[in-house]
Structure formats: structure tokens, C-alpha cells
Amino acid sequence: MSANTKPTASELEILNILWANGPSTVRFIHDELVKTKDAGYTTTLKLMQIMMEKQLLKRDDSGKSHVYTPNISQEKTRGQLVKRMIDNVFNGSASQLVMQALGNHKANKAELEEIRKYLDEITKSNKTDSKSR
């Protein structure tokens, strides 16, 4: 995803379906979308065509039905969206984002343990980096 490519909320819904299910047809994507929102088939098709133009999707048209795959990774997309949010909403403060997220969502025991483990890894990495300087 280039710096200029910013998936919209609707495009992210389609990307999430593809990331979860793998290569899919417009029909499959549409059937998944209508489970949670009112969407017309032609609207889904047009949105996916726009996503092709933006290079968010790739299309295999060698078979009877066109099959779409994401042209961007979920991890990279999340990273860029979070960075943009930290910069634009939290004035560059990752800690403010984390505190806001934990304040708005009651993390369960497993999530808190995962967060602690991640913080321990970052702390160890930072200590190693500072020693090698």
C-alpha cells in the first residue's frame, strides 16, 4: 500500500473478507457483505473495480469467474493505518493510543498477558540496542 493509497472503510471490509477467506469471487464477497450491511451486487462489483485501479486488489480472469486476491498484506495495512492514526489523532503518541484503547475496551486476562509479553520483548530489545551503541 503506497502512502497515497488509503483504503476506505468499505474497502477495508472487502480486504478483511479476502484476508480471512483467501481468493474469492465478487459473488462470494457480496454474499459476505450482505450478512452485515445492505449492499447491492453492482455496488460491490464497482467498489472492487475501483480497488483494482488503486492496486489494492489483483484479479485472475483466466477462469469462468474472476477471482480476486488482496494486493496488500493485512499486517502492512494495519501498520500503516495505526501509524496514520497515531500521527493524526494522538499527536504522534503511541502511549496515548494504547491508553485510549485499553480505556475503551476491557481487555481480558489473556489479552493483558499478551500485552505484557509484548512489552517485555520490546524492553529487552531496547536494552540490547542501547548496549550495542
In whole angstroms, what is the distance from residue 13 CA to residue 33 CA?
8
In whole angstroms, what is the distance from residue 105 CA to residue 101 CA?
6
The number of distinct structural domains making up the chain is 2
Q: 55 and 107 share a domain?
A: no
pLDDT at 104: 84
- Domain region containing 118: 93-131
Q: 26 and 12 share a domain?
A: yes
Q: 54 and 70 share a domain?
A: yes
Q: 43 and 63 share a domain?
A: yes
Q: Mean pLDDT per segment of 10 residues, for the chain of length 133 residues?
A: 72 97 97 95 96 96 93 93 92 90 86 90 81 65
Instruction: Write down the pTM of the prediction.
Output: 0.76
Q: 59 and 11 share a domain?
A: yes
List C-alpha distances in Å: 2 to 28, 60, 62, 73: 27, 22, 27, 12
Q: 28 and 85 share a domain?
A: yes
